[in-house]
Chains A and B, each alone.
Chain A
Amino acid sequence: MNEARFWRWWDRYGLLAILGVTVVALAAGQPRFRSWYTALNLLSTSAPVAIAGAGMTLAITCGVFDLSIGALLALVSVTIGVLVPHLGLTGAMVAGLAMGGAAGLVNGLIVTRLKIQAFIATLGTMLLWRGLALWISGGKDANLVHVPAVKVLAHWGWLALLVAGTYGLSALIYYRLPLGLRLRAVGSSATSAWASGVNVNAMTLFVFAYVALTASVAAAITTSQLAIGGCNLGVSFELEAITVVLLGGTALRGGLGNLGGTLLATALLGVMRIGLDLANVKDEYQRLAIGLLLLTALALDGVRRARKEAA
């Protein structure tokens, strides 16, 4: 196999290969890894990041970052926690999603109407959502343990359904609908997209609402898993989501997304965490491992670009 063909193969299957090797190595080395429990564990720890990662993939493809989703996760969780006694669990979750979508629209309106760059606009709303979450909850987590069926979304069936649903919908938007083409056009060059008749503001609004909705679904799952409406949840969740998106191969400069890559990268980080947990590696080394993995992947890309330029 010559070099160019290798890289082409690597682009498509590299992450899958690493994931496969990791899983096989762990299964061979760790008897306890070979159990259904591992898959369930992976699903329950990775589902929130995976789902918000799908939204973030579309956002970064469209050329915007949303740094507020971690705080939004707390806001939605608190909203659900506060509303459960009044609306019941289902009603509260629907209200939470509505709250999340509205917050996303606010982000979008700030970016499109006040012409602030997405990065700093969402930096501001990050504080807003966190403050709202603290204010609504009075700084106390709402305890939902006694609510019947609160753990419903923690069940693997629901998790699998939500992850599959989010990725199905995102892939449909990205690959099949004209909307996806427009998203990519805006991400590649907002000016050219605008010149060819794409409503850039509408795209921006949509993508902010979408990423906020996925973060709200992640919030509903987390709330259900922990059985609390927590105002301190989701700190640095936005950076985690951005990490899996970029590790998955979505281009930082926009225009080129990779949904499958985001899912694989989330799975890879999840599997690594479980493997390191089973090997009794402490949390601090795990963080180090994630950082090194990300940097290795990026360095590989950098070396390759440098060689391409030299050639």
Chain B
Amino acid sequence: MNEPRTAFGRRVSAALDWRERSVFAALALLFLAVSAANPRFAALSNVLSILGDSAYIGIAAIGMTLCIIFGAFDLSIGALLALLSVASVTWAPHLQPVVGTAGFVIIVALAGAGCGLLNGALVAGLRIPAFIATLGMMYVYRGAAFMLSGGQDQRLDSAWFLSLANGDLAGVPVVFLVFVGLTVLGTLLLNRHPLGRRIQAVGNSPKAARAAGISVSRTTLAVFALVGVFTAIAGVLQASLLRGAQPGRGVEFELYVIATVVLGGTSLDGGKGSVINTAAAAVLLATLQCSFSFLAVNPYVQKIIVGGVLVAAFSMNYLRGQVEDWRKRRQQQRKEASV
């Protein structure tokens, strides 16, 4: 293959490199296969509804992608999602008349950033490993969600609130547009903004990053605040979709989000990953979920299939390596035979 000459060409060819974009290939394959089995699957309305469904986990997964590239986990986001959606449903009727709908969403996002900063402060300030610190905060946020709601499900039927997640623009669900916007934002942040470069540097090697003059603790704070913001947006949209909030919602949500991020090819070792691939993985999982109902798969078997698909996908890297090794060995043998 010819090497592209211009910087732009190199960038485009890197962005289209199939080895980095296998999740898109899987998505296309799945879509074509299910559409062949049931043409109604490919109907525009169905595609749009799949895209809308993918947004909730997808938005949260953007934040988690940054966090995992940074080399950390945030296990508290399921509980944080519950707390923020309960809080937003409880306070929305008081806040919205004063600050407006946009102001309300901004306040919720800021609250998410605040909670994220708290996580970050535990990790950066007290040097607690992120895994344990966010495990502890998981209990704290979950308890706070139950306290705030008094253990009751909260309902909110105001038209403006429901329109957050249920509206559409020229037929495209607003949540998906938000998801796309945030994906672009996350990608730009990761690849074009100094903060993104710092996140990747720390994820590659905290020591080297520190030696290069990067403040690891400030980056930690920023990363966890971002995770909080994305979780807050996912939480408020989900509350709007479901017309309310439950303090017990989002148990093990963090684990599904991490699975989505890893399915998108982001490495748990840190330093490497792609927000766009994460978004594609979220769409892939939503497509899989939707195809189950089109193919009338037993709902209990669905979980088994999703688990199997995840394990298979996670082992792809290794299998690909094996295949390449085998190919090399065969070439070697052929060469020796021809000599």
With known contacts A298-B128, A299-B126, A125–B143 Cβ distance under 8 A? no
In the complex, besides A126-B307, A131-B304, 9 extra interface pairs with C-beta distance below 8 angstroms are A114-B318, A123-B310, A128-B307, A131-B302, A239-B138, A285-B147, A288-B144, A302-B126, A305-B127
**Which residues on the B side are within 8 Å of A117 (C-beta)?**
268
Asked whether B140 lies within 8 Å of A288 as measured between CB atoms, the reply is yes
A135 to B128, CA, bound (A): 40
**Which residues on the B side are within 8 Å of A120 (C-beta)?**
258-259, 262, 268, 310, 314
Binding site for A on B (CB under 8 A): 75, 122, 125-129, 131-133, 135-147, 151, 247, 251-252, 255, 258-259, 262, 268, 298-308, 310-311, 314-315, 317-319
Interface of A is mostly: helix
With known contacts A138-B300, A139-B300, A294–B136 Cβ distance under 8 A? yes
A136 to B: closest C-beta gap in Å: 8
A143 to B: closest C-beta gap in Å: 19
Asked whether B138 lies within 8 Å of A130 as measured between CB atoms, the reply is no
| A135 CB contact (under 8 Å) in B138, B146, B268, B301 | B301
Instruction: Kindly state whether residue A5 has any CB partner on chain B within 8 Å.
Output: no
A-side interface size class: 35 or more
The 8 closest A-B pairs by CB, nearest first: A131-B303, A291-B139, A284-B146, A288-B143, A127-B307, A128-B307, A131-B304, A302-B126
**Which residues on the A side are within 8 Å of B301 (C-beta)?**
131, 135
A253 to B307, CA, bound (A): 27
**Which residues on the B side are within 8 Å of A115 (C-beta)?**
315, 317-318
Nearest CB to that of B302 among chain A residues?
A: A131
**Which residues on the B side are within 8 Å of A130 (C-beta)?**
303, 307
A-B contact pairs, 18 of them (CB 8 A): A114-B311, A114-B314, A115-B315, A120-B259, A123-B262, A124-B307, A124-B308, A124-B311, A127-B304, A128-B304, A130-B303, A131-B305, A135-B301, A252-B129, A252-B132, A253-B129, A295-B140, A298-B122
Asked whether A124 lies within 8 Å of B310 as measured between CB atoms, the reply is yes
Asked whether A116 lies within 8 Å of B139 as measured between CB atoms, the reply is no
**Which residues on the A side are within 8 Å of B147 (C-beta)?**
284-285, 288
Asked whether B136 lies within 8 Å of A295 as measured between CB atoms, the reply is yes
A67 to B73, CA, bound (A): 14
Instruction: Kindly state whether residue A282 has any CB partner on chain B within 8 Å.
Output: yes
Asked whether A283 lies within 8 Å of B304 as measured between CB atoms, the reply is no
**Which residues on the B side are within 8 Å of A138 (C-beta)?**
300
| B314 CB contact (under 8 Å) in A124, A135, A286, A287 | A124
A115 to B315, CA, bound (A): 7
A232 to B: closest C-beta gap in Å: 11
Which residues 253-287 of A have a CB within 8 angstroms of B?
Answer: 253, 282-287
| B135 CB contact (under 8 Å) in A114, A134, A246, A288 | A246
Asked whether B302 lies within 8 Å of A123 as measured between CB atoms, the reply is no
| A239 CB contact (under 8 Å) in B75, B258, B300 | B75
Which residues 96-144 of A have a CB within 8 angstroms of B?
Answer: 110, 114-117, 119-121, 123-132, 134-135, 138-139
Asked whether A134 lies within 8 Å of B311 as measured between CB atoms, the reply is no
Point out which of A120, A253, A302 has the most chain B C-beta atoms below 10 A from its C-beta: A120
Point out which of B129, B135, B247, B298 has the most chain A C-beta atoms below 10 A from its C-beta: B135
Asked whether B133 lies within 8 Å of A114 as measured between CB atoms, the reply is no
Asked whether B268 lies within 8 Å of A134 as measured between CB atoms, the reply is no
**Which residues on the A side are within 8 Å of B259 (C-beta)?**
120, 123-124, 127
